[in-house]
């Protein structure tokens, strides 16, 4: 992991200041009208009104890395959106595994009638000025380099989660994103569910009272071991795979090692290329919890875990927990095992007056409000409630969160507004910082403090506990999540009358007589 002295400055709230020109051709001939439209499918409507023959009115998308997610989620979802009317073309595929590239290109030609250009070097794809946007589905250690290069080449970007491999890289991506004004979406698809915005509005209005923290999970189980279900094939050989390029040796991303099918196909199991459940799974739930609460960068992070069952040469743990504390006076608990699924902990956000309890999946038609007892809240009107979302069971049968997330990305490009994205880089950076510091804590046996003002992190010390003890000693006021506008709702205590007898006896005098 990187040295704390080399960290960069964290930046927040970047999404409000973007109004740069779209792409070099605006990809829609009628962009003024399109900018007011909320649906990506409306791109096709514009084309049918007389622009279909003009290739410059269509968004041309290239793909960098078309393995599991790159093919199964990126290519196939955008092909479906195109079929449903989105005014897009899938025009280029960059892939180091030749049989995979051939399969993906054949699929695109079958679905769209268009044969995409093939690339092995992503820089050649980015040098093609006819490409407006790229989807990046490479292993984690490549993300930052390819994202930054794409943004600086003027492309809009959809990048698979985690946004980057390190904290420093995440902050760097945010900086470049701000400077270029391109639209960028980080691939945590559940953030395109409106439930998180709905929860945040209720939280800010005081529904939960003082927010104390969130708890989330991503439990899994299998007979093979997590990520070992990615099939190894006989034709995965150095003849068919540009192994040195995949490693990133010349780019300084990894040392050269002997070819290994398991490392290539199941790279999430190995620290040089991924971080196991921390960045593959925890980042999903953490991003959603940050979106719902309004929290962003943590102030203190500790991680724990171990490899307790999946002792199959992997590096990453099969049981892990991250605890993140925030300056707003909240704590996040992210926990899971890859070897048990039925006993998953509940996904909740807790406050003094009650709790939001969500499901464990990614499709929510409702969530629960669990009221605290009136003896604690002193308000008998606070009762249990089932809160419906705007996502119907019928609509869930027709689509999925990945479809919604790509549709949102296209809408942001159409509107020429990065703020439209449901998971922009500033949110992505906060989430990945949380889970990466958790992974580092587990690996190095340290507690990390993070300073969002400077973007620096270092070893923990007693200052965190001391600051809260001092706030209590001074009878300070509770801190609140960003966006809170409910005053003291659910944020005060009513001491018993006998509490007035408390206090130090100075010179033998009873404080009750003061």
pLDDT, tens digit (0-9, with 9 covering 90-100), for 136-191: 999 999 999 999 999 999 999 999 999 999 999 999 999 999 999 999 999 999 99
Residue 67: inside a domain, yes or no? yes
Average pLDDT value for residue range 384-396? 80
Give the position of tokens 């290109």: 105
Average pLDDT value for residue range 219-237? 97
325 pLDDT above the threshold of 50: yes
Q: Name the strand (E) or helix (H) holding 33.
A: helix 31-34
Average pLDDT value for residue range 103-125? 98
Residue 385: inside a domain, yes or no? no
Q: Which of 110, 111, 120, 22 has the alpha carbon at shortest distance from 63?
A: 120
- Residues 421 and 412 sit within 8 Å (Cβ to Cβ): yes
**350 vs 208: CA distance, rounded Å:** 7
Q: Which of 207, 246, 290 has the alpha carbon at shortest distance from 66?
A: 246
8 pLDDT above the threshold of 90: no
Q: Which of 112, 184, 119 has the alpha carbon at shortest distance from 148?
A: 184
Q: How confident is the model at residue 57 (pLDDT cuts 50, 70, 90)?
A: confident
pLDDT attached to residue 168: 98
Tell me how far CA of residue 477 lies from CA of 159, 206, 306, 325, in angstroms: 40, 16, 39, 18
Residue 138: inside a domain, yes or no? yes
pLDDT attached to residue 417: 97
DSSP string, 408-431: HHHHHHHTT-GGG-SS-HHHHHHH
Under 8 Å CB-to-CB from 144, ≥6 apart: which residues?
A: 164, 165, 166, 169, 170, 172, 173
304: tokens are 């724990």
Tell me how far CA of residue 238 lies from CA of 68, 192, 233, 263, 269, in angstroms: 19, 39, 12, 13, 20
Residue 212: inside a domain, yes or no? no
DSSP string, 65-109: --SHHIIIIIIHHHHHHHHTT--EEEEEEE-SBHHHHHHHHHHHH
**80 vs 485: CA distance, rounded Å:** 41
The sheet carrying 448-451 orders its strands as 385-388, 366-371, 354-358, 347-351, 211-217, 330-337, 319-326, 300-306, 448-451, 456-459
**454 vs 299: CA distance, rounded Å:** 12
- Residues 94 and 246 sit within 8 Å (Cβ to Cβ): no
Quote the Cα angle for 91-92-94, to 5°: 165
**343 vs 357: CA distance, rounded Å:** 16
Domain count, the chain: 1
Residue 56: inside a domain, yes or no? yes
Residue 268: inside a domain, yes or no? no
28 pLDDT above the threshold of 60: no
Residue 14: inside a domain, yes or no? yes
Query: What are the backbone dihedrals phi and psi of residue 213, each rounded to the nearest 5 degrees, phi first?
Result: 160, 175
8-12, 89-93, 158-162, 282-286 — which is least confidently predicted? 8-12
Q: Where do the DSSP E strands lie in 297-343? A: 300-306, 319-326, 330-337
**289 vs 278: CA distance, rounded Å:** 15
Tell me how far CA of residue 21 lies from CA of 149, 183, 356, in angstroms: 19, 11, 41
The per-residue b/e assignment along 446-470, b for 16 or more CB within 10 angstroms, e otherwise, is ebbbbebeebbbeebeeeeeeeeee
Under 8 Å CB-to-CB from 290, ≥6 apart: which residues?
A: 296, 427, 430, 431, 434
Q: Is the pTM of this model over 0.95?
A: no
Look at 341 and 32; give whichever has higher pLDDT: 341
The CATH number given to whatever domain includes residue 158 is 3.40.50.720
**91 vs 58: CA distance, rounded Å:** 11
Domain containing 130: what range?
4-189+405-418
pLDDT, tens digit (0-9, with 9 covering 90-100), for 353-370: 999 999 887 778 899 999
Average pLDDT value for residue range 321-335? 98
509: tokens are 């005098």
Q: How confident is the model at residue 264 (pLDDT cuts 50, 70, 90)?
A: very high
Q: Which of 317, 321, 327, 314 has the alpha carbon at shortest distance from 286?
A: 321
Residue 288: inside a domain, yes or no? no
167: tokens are 């904290």
54 pLDDT above the threshold of 50: no
Tell me how far CA of residue 500 lies from CA of 206, 378, 434, 507, 508, in angstroms: 29, 20, 42, 19, 17
């Amino acid at each position: 992991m990187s040295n704390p002295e080399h960290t960069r400055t964290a930046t927040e709230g970047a999404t409000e200041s973007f109004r740069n020109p779209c792409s070099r051709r605006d990809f829609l001939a009628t962009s003024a009208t399109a900018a007011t439209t909320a649906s990506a499918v409306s791109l096709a409507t514009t084309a049918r009104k007389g622009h279909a023959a003009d290739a410059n009115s269509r968004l041309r998308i290239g793909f960098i890395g078309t393995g599991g997610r790159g093919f199964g989620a990126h290519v196939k979802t955008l092909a479906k959106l195109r079929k449903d009317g989105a005014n897009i073309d899938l025009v280029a595929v960059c892939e180091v595994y030749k049989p995979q590239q051939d399969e993906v290109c054949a699929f695109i030609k079958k679905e769209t009638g268009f044969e995409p250009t093939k690339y092995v070097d992503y820089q050649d794809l980015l040098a093609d000025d006819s490409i407006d946007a790229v989807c990046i589905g490479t292993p984690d250690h490549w993300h930052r380099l390819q994202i930054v290069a794409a943004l600086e080449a003027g492309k809009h970007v959809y990048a698979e989660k985690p946004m980057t491999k390190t904290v420093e890289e995440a902050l760097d991506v945010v900086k470049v994103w701000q400077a270029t004004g391109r639209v960028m979406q980080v691939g945590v698809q559940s953030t395109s569910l409106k439930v998180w915005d709905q929860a945040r509005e209720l939280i800010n209005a005081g529904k939960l009272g003082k927010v104390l923290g969130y708890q989330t999970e991503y439990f899994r189980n299998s007979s093979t071991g997590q990520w070992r279900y990615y099939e190894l094939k006989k034709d995965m050989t150095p003849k068919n795979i540009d192994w040195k390029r995949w490693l990133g040796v010349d780019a300084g991303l990894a040392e050269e090692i002997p070819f290994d099918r398991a490392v290539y196909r199941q790279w999430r199991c190995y620290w040089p290329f991924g971080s196991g459940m921390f960045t593959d799974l925890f980042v999903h739930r953490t991003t959603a919890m940050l979106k719902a609460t309004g929290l962003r960068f943590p102030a203190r992070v500790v991680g724990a875990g171990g490899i307790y069952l999946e002792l199959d040469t992997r590096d990453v743990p099969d049981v892990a927990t991250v605890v993140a504390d925030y300056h707003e006076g909240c704590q996040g608990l992210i926990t899971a095992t890859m070897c048990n699924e039925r006993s998953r902990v509940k996904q909740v956000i807790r406050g003094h007056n009650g709790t939001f309890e969500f499901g464990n999946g990614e499709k929510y038609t409702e969530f629960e409000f669990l009221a605290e007892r009136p003896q604690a809240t002193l308000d008998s009107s606070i009762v249990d409630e089932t809160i419906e979302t705007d996502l119907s069971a019928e609509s869930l049968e027709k689509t999925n969160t990945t479809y919604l997330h790509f549709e949102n990305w296209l809408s942001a490009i159409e509107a020429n507004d990065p703020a439209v994205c449901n998971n922009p880089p500033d949110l992505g950076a906060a989430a990945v910082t949380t889970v990466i510091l958790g992974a580092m804590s587990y690996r190095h046996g340290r507690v990390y403090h993070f300073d969002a003002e400077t973007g620096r992190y270092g070893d923990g010390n007693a200052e965190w506990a001391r600051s809260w003890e001092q706030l209590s000693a001074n009878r300070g006021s509770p801190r609140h999540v960003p966006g809170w506008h409910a005053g003291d709702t659910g944020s005060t205590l009513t001491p018993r009358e006998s509490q007035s007898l408390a206090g130090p006896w100075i010179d033998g005098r009873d404080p009750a007589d003061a």
